[in-house]
């Protein structure tokens, strides 16, 4: 199963794909070496900031495990608008652990040797 990685650094986002099973079992908030993702990223340390599964459900770092579950949410990161004070809503979210159902993984650069621009190039889409 291919994982799509969105790596952000100073307002820019770079996209990579990998077939590596190394990431199964990692959690939101964990850090890893960039070599595990691509040999071009030697010397980089990346932090997992979020996930999304094949149906589009986001990963919530407060929920343990990889399974899908319904959680009662109040206003915050996962519930933006509320009609009145004290409003709560039940929504489906994934746990904080990466599994084979996870498709997208978001990462930030914690430390690196050079800017990512010099290693990775996002090709513009031609239409």
Closest CA to 105 of 39, 46, 45: 46
Average pLDDT of the chain is 88
Residue 114 in tokens:
């050079």
Q: What is the per-residue pLDDT for 126?
A: 46
Query: What's the average model confidence in pLDDT over 91-115?
Result: 91
Q: What per-residue confidence (pLDDT) applies to 3? A: 92
Confidence (pLDDT) at 64: 92
Handedness of CA 1, 43, 59, 8 (dihedral sign): negative
Q: Are residues 45 and 57 in contact, defined by beta-carbon separation less than 8 angstroms?
A: no
User: 18-75, pLDDT tens digit by residue?
Assistant: 988 899 999 999 999 988 988 888 888 999 999 999 999 999 999 999 999 999 999 9
The pTM assigned to this predicted structure is 0.85
Q: For the chain, give every domain's residue range.
A: 3-64+96-117
Above pLDDT 70, what percent of the chain?
92
């Amino acid at each position: 199963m291919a994982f799509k990685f969105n790596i952000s650094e100073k307002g820019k986002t770079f996209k990579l794909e990998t077939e590596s099973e190394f990431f199964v079992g990692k959690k939101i908030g964990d850090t890893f070496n960039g070599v595990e993702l691509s040999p071009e990223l030697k010397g980089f340390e990346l932090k997992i900031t979020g996930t999304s599964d094949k149906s589009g459900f986001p990963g919530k770092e407060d929920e343990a495990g990889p399974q899908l579950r319904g959680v009662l949410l109040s206003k915050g990161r996962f519930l933006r608008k509320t009609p009145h004070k004290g409003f709560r809503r039940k929504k489906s979210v994934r746990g904080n652990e990466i599994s084979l159902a996870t498709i997208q993984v978001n990462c930030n650069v914690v430390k690196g040797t050079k800017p990512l621009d010099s290693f990775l190039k996002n090709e513009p889409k031609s239409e």
